[in-house]
Amino acid sequence: MSPDDETRGDSTAVDIELSVKNVDPKLIKHANDADEAMKAFEDLHGEAIELDDATNRRLLRTIDWHIMPVMCCVYGMNFLDKTTLSYASIMGLKEDLSLIGDQYSWLGSLFYFGYIAWEYPTSRLLQRLPLGKYTGSCVVIWGMILSCFAAVKNYPGAIAIRFFLGVFEAAVTPGFALLTSQWYTRNEQGRRVNIWYSFNGWGQILGGLVAYGIAVGSQKNGSLIEPWKIVFLFTGLLTVSLGLFFLWIVPDSQLNARWLKKEDRVLAIARVRINQQGIGNKHFKWYQVKEALLDPMTWAFFFFALIADIPNGGITNFFSQLITSFGYSPEQSLLYGTPAGAVEVVALVVNGIIGDRTGQRILTSLGGLLTATLGIILIVALPLDNNVGRLVGYYLTQAFPTSFVALLSLISSNVAGYTKKTTVAALYLIGYCVGNIIGPLTFRPEDAPRYVSAEITIIACWGVCLFILLFIWWWYNKENRRKADIRSAPGYVRLENQEFLDLTDIENHDFVYTL
């Protein structure tokens, strides 16, 4: 990624006059309601600071090298830890835990019951507690819980592990969305969200290779414990290690980044001033919750996440069994699942680059959704003996996250007001959870090995998602025109430092929505 390309179009590369004077009392009831960024400027007493192109590029490189690698690796484990169950299902887990009927499907769904139960509480904790420390602590705990799966001996024990795994993973995606909006300009956010989310694909590649190596190695040389338990221990302990590194490297905000000089901390805040969002606010504001619940975009996001993740929940938990249904052995399914991760990586990275450069994240993301739809149609329509063609169809389905990630990045870019942002993110991920709970249940045991009803459900869901995305694109265009009319009206006055007043995107008429 080239900082030169991204900073050239941002108006942050100009002289920025920083002042905390003349805040309009009509928009702030209490001084403490202002954004945390205001604290960084209280001692400047109106002093002007310069943020030129070279400085902006230097800061962006520093931020990227310190934050993005650890976010990418942790997010890869976030996906791998969920799909470990799928690998284990064909390595003896079902037989060892005596799973019958749809018990395996419920194990896939129970993760999301824990996730959905804790999603809103964790969004409040992300606002109230230090962002970096809380997110990193959750990563460490989820890794420890995953390791404990190796000690599970029955179905009730597996239920408990899956539920609490969901509880502690609930902080990761909203936490990463907040970190991205905190550190990057809107021009930069789409690509970054796509990059760290694309490590889901790297996680699938790593997981498939590790599981294949363990399965084949155990067959040839034997093992002291069951192969599926080794998979859980490997992924769990690796997650703990990454969580500890995350705690060490990722700060709570620019204000306490140990790897930034004192003067650079202020500049790092100044460079995201263009976002009109500040860097964080610890005060919970009920009026922002109400605005979020009345905003049509909140519910468009929610229903998109719910409907889009019905296919995700099914494919994530059954992809190994789906590949075996194409005529491949269990060991081959572990190995042949890895190229799907590469498809996801390429789709997301390309989607992020094109979306940011064209300024059309939503429309660009439709390419991945249409590609995935073509893939599932191939699985359904091709003859059963066309193993290669149906496998290629499965690979194409892994382009589907582009639209989900596009909307996730828009929560970073288009939702302002810290309480509103955490509320919308929580609802979006609650929709994600509900979809993922339903998804595995569409793969009914009596439909094996074809799972035709599940495949048709996937096609229908992605078709509905296409229309929701077009509606969101139309709405944001309409709102940008409305705000432009307000700004061009005679007598319109822009408030000084309004970007640090924790205004919502609807309150702030200078806030322009990203498409």
Task: Quickly state the pLDDT bin for 139 (edges 50, 70, 90).
Answer: very high
- Give the pLDDT score at 255: 84
In a domain, residue 511? The reply is no
Question: CA 241 → CA 1, 147, 238, 247, distances in Å?
Answer: 27, 12, 5, 10
What three-state secondary structure class fits 362? helix
Indicate whether 508 belongs to any domain. no
Confidence of residue 312 (pLDDT cuts 50, 70, 90): confident
Residue 45 has pLDDT above 50, yes or no: no
pLDDT tens track for 33-44: 555 666 655 555
Give the residue with greater pLDDT, 127 vs 68.
68
pLDDT at residue 363 above 70? yes
Specify the pLDDT at position 145. 93
Looking at residue 11, what is its pLDDT? 41
> Do residues 36 and 255 lie in contact, with contact meaning Cβ atoms separated by under 8 Å?
yes
Identify the DSSP state of 123.
H
Q: How confident is the model at residue 13 (pLDDT cuts 50, 70, 90)?
A: very low
Question: Residue 436: its pLDDT value, please?
Answer: 83
**What is residue 206's predicted lDDT score, i.e. its pLDDT?**
84
Domain extent for 37: 3-500
Tell me how far apart the alpha carbons of residues 463 and 483 are, in angstroms, rounded to a whole number. Answer: 31
- Looking at residue 100, what is its pLDDT? 83
Read off the pTM: 0.81
The percent of residues above 70 in pLDDT, for the chain, comes to 86
State the Cα–Cα distance between residues 189 and 421, nearest whole angstrom: 15
Considering the domain boundaries, does residue 507 fall inside one?
Answer: no
- Other CB atoms within a 10 A radius of the CB of residue 33 amount to 15
SS (H, E, C) 250-319: CCCCHHHCCCCCHHHHHHHHHCCHHHCCCCCCCCCCHHHHHHHHHCHHHHHHHHHHHHHHHHHHHHHHHH
What is the rounded CA–CA span in Å between residue 35 and residue 203? 36
CA 64 to chain centre: 17
The residue among 89 and 486 whose pLDDT is bigger is: 486
Residue 386 in any domain: the answer is: yes
Q: Retrieve residue 97's tokens.
A: 């835990």
More confident: 447 or 171: 171
Angle (deg, nearest 10), helices 186-221 and 401-414: 140
Does 510 fall in a domain? no
pLDDT score recorded for residue 218: 77
CATH number of the domain enclosing 371: 1.20.1250.20
> So what's the pLDDT on residue 384?
79
What is the predicted pLDDT for the residue at 36? 62
3-state secondary structure of 456: helix
Residue 226: other Cβ atoms inside 10 A? 17
- More confident site: 334 or 348: 348
Task: Over range 79-93, report the average pLDDT.
Answer: 77
Residue 263, in any domain of the structure: yes
**Based on the structure, what is the number of domains in the chain?**
1
Residue 7 has pLDDT above 70, yes or no: no
The pLDDT, as a whole number, for residue 73 is 94
pLDDT-derived band at 8 (thresholds 50, 70, 90) equals: very low
Region 286-293 average pLDDT: 92
> Which whole number is the average pLDDT over 346-364?
91
Residue 512 within a domain: no
Query: Does the pLDDT value for residue 86 go beyond 80?
Result: no
Residue 327 binned pLDDT confidence (cut-offs 50, 70, 90):
confident
475: pLDDT strictly greater than 50 = yes
Of 359-373, 381-395, 494-508, which gets the smallest average pLDDT? 494-508
* Res. 280 pLDDT band, cuts 50 70 90: low
- pLDDT tier for residue 373 given thresholds of 50, 70 and 90: very high
DSSP 495: P
Whether 6 shows a pLDDT value over 80: the answer reads: no
Whole-number mean pLDDT of the chain? 83
Which of these ranges, 7-21, 182-196, 283-297, 499-513, has the smallest mean pLDDT? 7-21
Domain contains 505: no
pLDDT over threshold 80, residue 326 = no
